Amino acid sequence: MTILVAEDDHAVRSLIRMSLEGGGYGVAEAKDGLEAYEIFCSQPVDLCLLDVMMPKLDGFNLLRKIRERSKVPVIFLTARAEGMDMVLGLGLGADDYMAKPFSADELLARVGAHLRRSLEYGSVNENASDIIVYGQLSIDRKTYTAAKNGVPLAMGAKEYKLLLHFMENPERVFTKRQLYSAVWEENDWYDDNTVMVHISRLRGHIEEEPGNPRYLKTIRGVGYKLHFTGEKP
């Protein structure tokens, strides 16, 4: 499982990373709130550890942006343990609040507890697995709809199935044959041109500049993959 650590103090961030990696977790590190949000939008994250006082985007405003798109567990890590800060953080949707300094054992215990609760909640929440979010894209498997920045995308059935396949497997490279098998459900043969035409149509729906894609990347000599490189400012 991957933990996003947003902390501007390099020494503290390194200690947190070593503690989490010692506990068997993967770690994505950010030195400011803006970098943390870019990471959050570009890869799956199972829990966030956020410092409150960070450059570019503080922890409170970062939490607001995270809560616009996800219910991922969030724990604040801060030296500012005043009551009003705690109330504000929890009121914005944080799940827990740890005052610095804290021990590695306490950190791992809190992280483990919130991940268990998240998994238990997800197992009984039927809607949790229906909606997939990646970058600014979202797709609802129950209603067969897709959107970008909350705006519905009107696309054909094959483009929808392509997008769903990519969003279910972000960062994975697929050959044209694999895509044809998954979307057209044909294993005996495939048509390069058919795949390329529908990839082009899909880019027309999800990309601001289809000729310079930020989501659907061509891997020369191999195929395609969904890889978010960030939105324009």
User: For residue range 19-56, what is the model confidence (pLDDT) as tens digits?
Assistant: 999 888 999 999 999 999 999 988 888 999 998 888 99
For 144, left (φ over 0), alpha (ψ -120 to 50), or beta? left
Bridge partner list, 50: 6, 76
List, in order of start, the domains of the chain with CATH numbers: 2-127 (3.40.50.2300), 131-226 (1.10.10.10)
- Residue 129 CB partners (closer than 8 Å, separation 6+): 122, 141
Read off the pLDDT band of 203 (50, 70, 90). very high
Read off the pLDDT band of 123 (50, 70, 90). very low
**What pLDDT is attached to residue 232?**
44
Mean pLDDT computed over 83-111: 78
Bridge partner list, 138: 133, 147
Mean pLDDT computed over 169-173: 84
Distances (CA, A) of 151 to 40, 57, 60, 136: 20, 25, 26, 10
**What pLDDT is attached to residue 126?**
40
- Reply yes or no on whether the pLDDT at 191 is more than 90: no
**What pLDDT is attached to residue 23?**
87
**What pLDDT is attached to residue 84?**
58
**What pLDDT is attached to residue 82?**
55
Read off the pLDDT band of 113 (50, 70, 90). confident
Mean pLDDT computed over 147-166: 90
- Reply yes or no on whether the pLDDT at 68 is more than 90: no
> What pTM did the predictor assign?
0.53
Distances (CA, A) of 172 to 128, 175, 179: 22, 10, 12
* H helix or E strand, kind and range, residue 115: helix 104-124
Read off the pLDDT band of 129 (50, 70, 90). low
Per cent of the chain over pLDDT 90 is: 30
